[in-house]
Amino acid sequence: MRYWIFLIAVLLTGCEDGGVADASIWQICEKYPDICEATHSGALCSIDRSDVIRNLAKQKEQLSSITTYLALKSLDNYKGCLENAFISEAVRNKSDKQSQITTIQNIPQLQQSLVVSTRTLYRPEVNLWLWTKSQHQNNWDSMVNGFESAEQVHLDVYLALMTEAAERDLPKALEYARMALQQADVIKDIPAPVYEFYIGYYLQQNELEKAAIWQGLYSALDEEKANVNGRYFRLNQQMTPSQIQAAQDAVDQLLFDAKWLNKTMSSFPKDLK
């Protein structure tokens, strides 16, 4: 009995100190009924709706460009799910159907209010989201300016900058790729675009063995994507059999450890970055 009393007290204290954004959905809805009332209450898209509720609560409690960006993206996913469900006519209940329509119509307005709430902040993430919607150069320029001034930057900003710079300024793209790598705590956190960038980068630098090692390590992260990328790689590589074997040996040695993807970034070969 004492244990349960202590546990409940700890949980309640945690909610008071850190807000309810990490609590259960019903607790969030109890504190922020406006958030839950603004979303569809039907059975479909429940996972996406939960993400929206939690991210909107976090945005309320910890206003920043990053929390707003995550809320904006979760609303995009939720809207897409509701639209797909509506088109498929999976919902037969008339009230649920109407709730879907209302939510789909309200999401753009909700997103606009989120954007407005960050207008006094450095907001590279929010401007990245705006740029993906509009492709307006002023949004891109604002993202770059905000990125240079913000204390914290979401990984997606580094990836966008890396991808854009790769077409015109390879050394700059490498700089952004390294920034993206610094965002990873463990090896499995390295995103697929970074693997693909380094493969292409080392191909262009004619460091074929390093490109091959990155390609081999990519397969441990996502074999399906790596196989697609591998077709491109095979068409462009000019390695000798000994170079191929050396690269394969290096990959095998690293991947021999079954815990490779869960190891910290300190285990990732420094000469490949």
What is the tens place of the pLDDT at every residue in 193-248? 999 999 999 989 989 899 989 998 998 888 877 776 766 666 566 777 888 888 88
pLDDT range class, residue 71, cuts 50, 70, 90? very high
- Lookup: tokens for 64: 């920043």
| R_g of the chain computed on alpha carbons | 23
Predicted TM-score (pTM) of the model is 0.84
Measure the CA–CA gap between 130 and 138, rounded to whole angstroms.
10
Alpha helix segments (H runs only) across the chain: 2-18, 25-31, 33-37, 46-61, 65-88, 94-117, 124-134, 137-149, 155-165, 170-182, 192-204, 208-221, 223-236, 241-255
Whole-number mean pLDDT of the chain?
Answer: 86
pLDDT at 155 over 60: yes
pLDDT range class, residue 90, cuts 50, 70, 90? low
- pLDDT for the residue numbered 14: 41
pLDDT at 18 over 70: no
Greater model confidence, 130 or 18? 130
- The average pLDDT across 91-99 equals 68
